[in-house]
Structure 1
Amino acid sequence: MTAGASYHGNDFYCDVAIPHPDRLEVVHNSARVLAFHHTRPFWAVHVVVVPKRHIGSLTTVGDEDEIDVRELFGVVQAVARDVEVEHGAAAVLTNLGAYQDSKHLHVHVHSGGRRD
């Protein structure tokens, strides 16, 4: 079973991804940040980057989150650069509120067309 195949909670990252990176196709794994290929990709190339410490969303980031968010965006930049070089284009996206299925700050780096 792949990570997330039948997950129905509200924080996939804290509940599944971060404690079980061995179930994922990992791109980056450090003490503060995990990046991996999305378990249910929406685009041809779809990588998710998350802080390992729970932060609710971009709009809840506070001063106490600075170190985690700095590293998060450093990894987003590196992943986006690699995707852009390899595929010719990359987009970076985060969702908020009702658009945010998993209530944990995460950033999508994607390229290519939508998958069916």
Structure 2
Amino acid sequence: MNAPSTPPYTGTDFYCDVAIPDPAALEVVHHDERVLAFHHTRPFWNVHIVVVPTRHIASLTTASREDEADLRALLLVVQQVARSVEQQHGAAAVLTNLGAYQDSKHLHLHVHAGGRR
């Protein structure tokens, strides 16, 4: 008998609604009071890690001076994750999406390597 499948997420902020409240359900790479990094739940690349601030920041272009500590912490973790991916796979890329390209309306950066899945 097949296990029932989980319905696809249909909200607008997967990170605030699902990932941050329940990191134990994820394959976590890093988690502290300011930043969560985990393997993407629906990876687009062979290696695909998402890094998010745990406090809601809508996007890179809406971030403000009051977000500075969270952004510094976020970029430090992105740097550490990207360095590890680069060392393990010989290359890494870092990407964020904005506006209509941003499916989840919460600042997040993708660290990826390898071909598309």
| Poorly superposed stretches of 4+, deviation over 2 Å | none
1:86 to 82, 85, 88: 88
Q: Which runs of 5+ in 2 are unaligned?
A: none
In the aligned structure 2, how far is the partner of 1:26 from the partner of 1:62? 27
Partner secondary structure for residue 77 of structure 2 = helix
Q: Is the 8 A contact 1:27 1:35 kept in 2?
A: yes
Please, what TM-score do these two structures have when normalized by structure 2?
0.94
**Matched residues, percent identical?**
73
Match of 1:42 among 44, 55, 62: 44
Larger radius of gyration: 2
Q: Which runs of 5+ in 1 are unaligned?
A: none
Aligned residues: 113
What TM-score results when the alignment is normalised by the length of structure 1?
Answer: 0.95
Match of 1:12 in 2: 14
Distance 1:110 1:44 in 2: 8
Q: Distance in 2 between matches of 1:24 and 1:55?
A: 21
Q: Secondary structure at the match of 1:65?
A: helix
> 1:68: which partner in 2?
70
RMSD of aligned C-alpha atoms? 1.2
Structure 1 position 6, deviation (Å): 1.5
